[in-house]
Amino acid sequence: MASAKNLQAIRGMNDLLPADAARWAGFEALIRDVLTGYGYREIRTPIVEATELFCRSIGEVTDIVEKEMYTFADRNGDSLTLRPEGTASCVRACIEHGLLHNQQQRLWYAGPMFRHERPQKGRYRQFHQIGAEAFGMDGPDIDAEMICMTARFWQRLGLADVRLQLNSLGTPACRSAYRDKLVAHLRSGYELLDEDARRRLDSNPLRILDTKNPAMRELVDAAPVLADHLDDESARHFERLRALLDAAGVGYELNPRLVRGLDYYTKTVFEWVTDRLGAQGTVCAGGRYDGLVEQLGGRPVPGVGFAMGIERLLGLLEGRDDIAAATQPQVYVVMAGEAAEAAGLVLAERLRDALPQLRLQLNAGGGQIKNQMKRADKSGADWALVLGEQEAAQACVGLKSLRTDAAQETLAQGGIAAALAARLGL
């Protein structure tokens, strides 16, 4: 057994330290605010699900199911999996709790996902996503609204260097016919296919279209285009979606090779991408999945959704302290002597009652006033409340600015809440 000093986080699973956690909290609050403003409600699902859920939704022959899932048998012998994505769990929960029958739902979720991949910048084995799903609406209007909402995320975050890529995968029927033409084309250049493409040729040939292998680029670029083989309904849906995005002023690039990595997508697929993150350039992706609810045992209900990678987006926002949630205390209470410690504790709780938004830290562990003031300064607080034996006896308190040279004031304890509220804008 390794000694305790050698214990560290599992490869590809990272600690989030307080300074970074503040940026995450600010980011999540902003995204939550936009989602709520569009009428989306939060749903929370378990991290662990039955393995069958992901085999049936994502697809048995996808890389995620074949190579990347964290799957294990529990003590009853049941096969369980740490969730690799959020849509399947959301659909399962909606079916199980009757949220979809004759209803429309707009839902969102956030949390960790797990895939056993080779860790690299922007790609981790435990990674975090915020996702949204909408059910019961089959027109392109909800697709357009969802894309507009993601565009608003970037606007609120001040991100100008992400761009939208758009495609349609059509219905399963037209995709099946296209698949035959694609396979015939790829077989004509079989000797150019790498090992991974040859493995996918019979199981999931559309995934070959987004290969990063330059040796296959010419063959793939010459492949038939799915957009040329859409059925009338899918073509109308895509044309209307583009018209809605044009009307809303949302720019996009048509990418006929955009296929997404999950089997359940139909019609609309989209990705927001950037050139600033190297190979891991997709920061948000999604699309329509009209057959997934039925595939997982529910009545047929159309759906559309997306997920965004928190680590990747925060990589674009590196150094942006303006999005960090305010977590440092505003006020630090310094106390000298037992009577002052008791008075300080009581005063701190009264201030929290009077000013619920106040971030106040109470000194703990004793120490001389000089050392406590150093702690107060290091905490990031703007103000210190100073209590000694005399202040405790006279029910007053010293109010000291930690960020200016202003002289310390002495105020009655009964008036300190109003004084802090005025100074801090609470």
Burial 130-150 (b: 16+ CB within 10 A, else e): bbbbbbbbbebebbbbbbebb
- Whether 1 maps to a domain, the answer reads no
If asked whether residues 345 and 300 sit together in one domain, one would say no
If asked whether residues 33 and 165 sit together in one domain, one would say yes
For residues 89 and 285, what is the distance between their CA atoms, to the nearest angstrom?
17
How far are the Cα atoms of 375, 382, 389 from residue 410, in angstroms, in the given order?
21, 17, 14
- Whether 191 maps to a domain, the answer reads no
- Whether 204 maps to a domain, the answer reads no
- SS3 for 283? strand
Which of 328, 287, 329, 66 lies closest to 165, judged by CA? 287
Q: Are 382 and 403 in contact (CB under 8 A)?
A: yes
For residues 397 and 413, what is the distance between their CA atoms, to the nearest angstrom?
6
Q: Which among 262, 289, 321 is the end of a domain?
A: 321
If asked whether residues 131 and 268 sit together in one domain, one would say yes
If asked whether residues 78 and 160 sit together in one domain, one would say yes
Report the pLDDT value the prediction gives residue 60, as an integer from 0 to 100: 63
Which sign, positive or negative, has the C-alpha torsion 315, 317, 321, 324? negative
117 HSE (CA, 13 A, CB side): 17
Please enumerate in sequence order all residues whose Cβ is within 8 A of that of 37, keeping only pairs 6 or more positions apart, or say none. Answer: none
- Whether 225 maps to a domain, the answer reads no
For residues 258 and 275, what is the distance between their CA atoms, to the nearest angstrom?
16
- Whether 175 maps to a domain, the answer reads no
For residues 416 and 409, what is the distance between their CA atoms, to the nearest angstrom?
11
- Whether 316 maps to a domain, the answer reads yes
- Whether 127 maps to a domain, the answer reads yes
For residues 257 and 225, what is the distance between their CA atoms, to the nearest angstrom?
8
- Whether 206 maps to a domain, the answer reads no
Which tokens hold the place of 342?
């008791």
If asked whether residues 59 and 145 sit together in one domain, one would say yes
User: Per the structure, how many domains does the chain have?
Assistant: 2
Say which CATH number the domain at 368 has.
Answer: 3.40.50.800
If asked whether residues 118 and 267 sit together in one domain, one would say yes
For residues 197 and 164, what is the distance between their CA atoms, to the nearest angstrom?
27
If asked whether residues 251 and 392 sit together in one domain, one would say no
Task: Please enumerate, as own/partner, the contacts of 22-26 that have beta carbons within 8 Å and a separation of 24 or more.
Answer: 22/324, 22/325, 22/326, 22/327, 23/314, 23/317, 23/320, 23/321, 23/323, 23/324, 23/325, 24/310, 24/314, 25/324, 25/325, 25/327, 26/323, 26/324, 26/325
If asked whether residues 270 and 126 sit together in one domain, one would say yes
Q: Are 293 and 135 in contact (CB under 8 A)?
A: yes
If asked whether residues 247 and 338 sit together in one domain, one would say no
Q: Which among 303, 321, 339 is the end of a domain?
A: 321
Which sign, positive or negative, has the C-alpha torsion 18, 20, 21, 27? positive
Q: Which among 294, 321, 348 is the end of a domain?
A: 321
Please enumerate in sequence order all residues whose Cβ is within 8 A of that of 135, keeping only pairs 6 or more positions apart, or say none. Answer: 94, 99, 100, 103, 104, 105, 107, 293, 301, 302, 303
For residues 264 and 278, what is the distance between their CA atoms, to the nearest angstrom?
27
If asked whether residues 388 and 306 sit together in one domain, one would say no
Residue-range definition of the domain harbouring residue 402: 331-424
Burial 300-312 (b: 16+ CB within 10 A, else e): ebbbbbbbbbbbb
Report the pLDDT value the prediction gives residue 271, as an integer from 0 to 100: 95
Edge-first strand order for the sheet with 70-73 is 48-50, 79-82, 70-73
If asked whether residues 416 and 391 sit together in one domain, one would say yes
Q: Mean pLDDT, 10 residues at a time, over the chain (426 residues)?
A: 73 92 94 97 97 85 76 94 95 96 95 90 89 97 97 94 93 85 90 87 81 87 87 94 97 88 81 83 93 92 96 89 89 95 96 96 93 95 95 94 94 95 94
If asked whether residues 383 and 315 sit together in one domain, one would say no
Say which CATH number the domain at 83 has.
Answer: 3.30.930.10
